[in-house]
Amino acid sequence: MSKEIATPMKTKEILQKYGFSFKKSLGQNFLIDVNILHRIVERANITNETGVIEIGPGIGALTEQLAKKAKKVVAFEIDGRLIPILDETLAQYENVWIIHQDVLKADLQEIVHKYFKDCKEIMVVANLPYYVTTPIMMKLLEEKLPLKGIVVMLQKEVAERMSANPSTKDYGSLTIAVQYYTDAKIVMTVPKTVFVPQPNVDSAVIRLQLRNKPLIQVENESFFFQVVRASFAQRRKTLLNNLQNNLPNGKNRKQQIIETLEDVGIDPKRRGESLTIQEFALLSNALYKYFQ
């Protein structure tokens, strides 16, 4: 029998031994296909110089494959019931540290400083719980960690939103945020049949290569994202409508919004989803003086 964790038989054996039951509220779906794990690790280009942050290791199926290639792996697990299981399944790997904490509450700068000083590069590699995918991704990007890249498995439709093009149904504020910081590419799709329990939807693995500097230059980053979120607040509404209804005191600044849109050559009747990231930068830079 294979010693690797991610086989149906080995997974079942571990779960039975500990009497483990899945918590729907934590979005727990464990991978039971070793080949897919090998491919994920491959896509992340991990070497013995790489430090890896993992989120939601479960029973250690992906952690084990990462530990074989990386210099060290630091994994965040929120579910205390999994800590003794991980202690056993990963006992032979001395380069793995499990932190029993919600990654959304963790001080990741401190973790990087404490664990990865001797690593040449840092990657995030994870099978993310569906229900907190977006907040986790935004935390990783907004905290400006010294990451080389992020390779994560997530719900296929979320991966499609992250890598979408303008004027498509998947394009939105998440797309802009991800593309502002990274170059995003779906590298594989994963059928729901390779998980236990089986989720309702298929998954995809997305690779995000961190940019050395953002794709565009903006006057004020938080205002830029405010403009983006406002523009997508109601997808069927025009840009003018969304901006005046969703920017602070926007209704009283309707005239300035119209003039700014015309100045930068953007038709007020367009919808947010038709704007490129470059157009959003142009617009937010021009609007910024009115909203400081």
Q: What is the distance between the alpha carbons of residues 70 and 41, in angstroms, rounded to a whole number? A: 10
| Residue 1 confidence (pLDDT) | 36
Q: Tens of pLDDT along the chain (292 residues)? A: 347 999 999 999 999 999 999 887 787 899 999 999 999 999 999 999 999 999 999 999 999 999 999 999 999 999 999 999 999 999 999 999 999 999 999 999 999 999 999 999 999 999 998 889 999 999 999 999 999 999 999 999 999 999 999 999 999 999 999 999 999 999 999 999 999 999 999 999 999 999 999 999 999 999 999 999 999 999 899 999 999 999 999 999 999 999 999 999 999 999 999 999 999 999 999 999 999 8
The dihedral built from the CA positions of residue 211, 217, 221 and 226, taken in this order, carries a sign that is: negative
pLDDT in tens, 139-179: 999 999 999 999 999 999 999 999 999 999 999 999 999 99
- At 98, phi and psi to the nearest 5? -105, 125
Binding-site annotation: residue ranges: 29, 31, 56, 77, 102, 127
Instruction: Determine the pLDDT at residue 131.
Output: 84
Rounded distance between C-alpha atoms, residue 8 and residue 270, angstroms:
51
Q: List phi, psi (to 5°) of 23.
A: -105, 115
Instruction: Phi first, then psi: give them for residue 223, nearest 5 degrees.
Output: -70, -40
Backbone angles phi, psi at 201, to 5 degrees: -130, 160
pLDDT score, position 201: 92
Q: Are 204 and 159 in contact (CB under 8 A)?
A: yes
Which residues sit in the known binding site for S-adenosyl-L-methionine?
29, 31, 56, 77, 102, 127
Predicted local distance difference test score (pLDDT) of residue 48? 97
Domains of the chain: 8-210 (3.40.50.150), 221-291 (1.10.8.100)
Q: What is the pLDDT of residue 85?
A: 97
Over the Cα atoms of the chain, what is R_g? 21
The DSSP letter of residue 8 is: H
- DSSP code per residue over 85-116: HHHHHTTT-TTEEEE-S-GGGS-HHHHHHHH-
CA angle 197, 14, 46 (to 5 degrees): 80
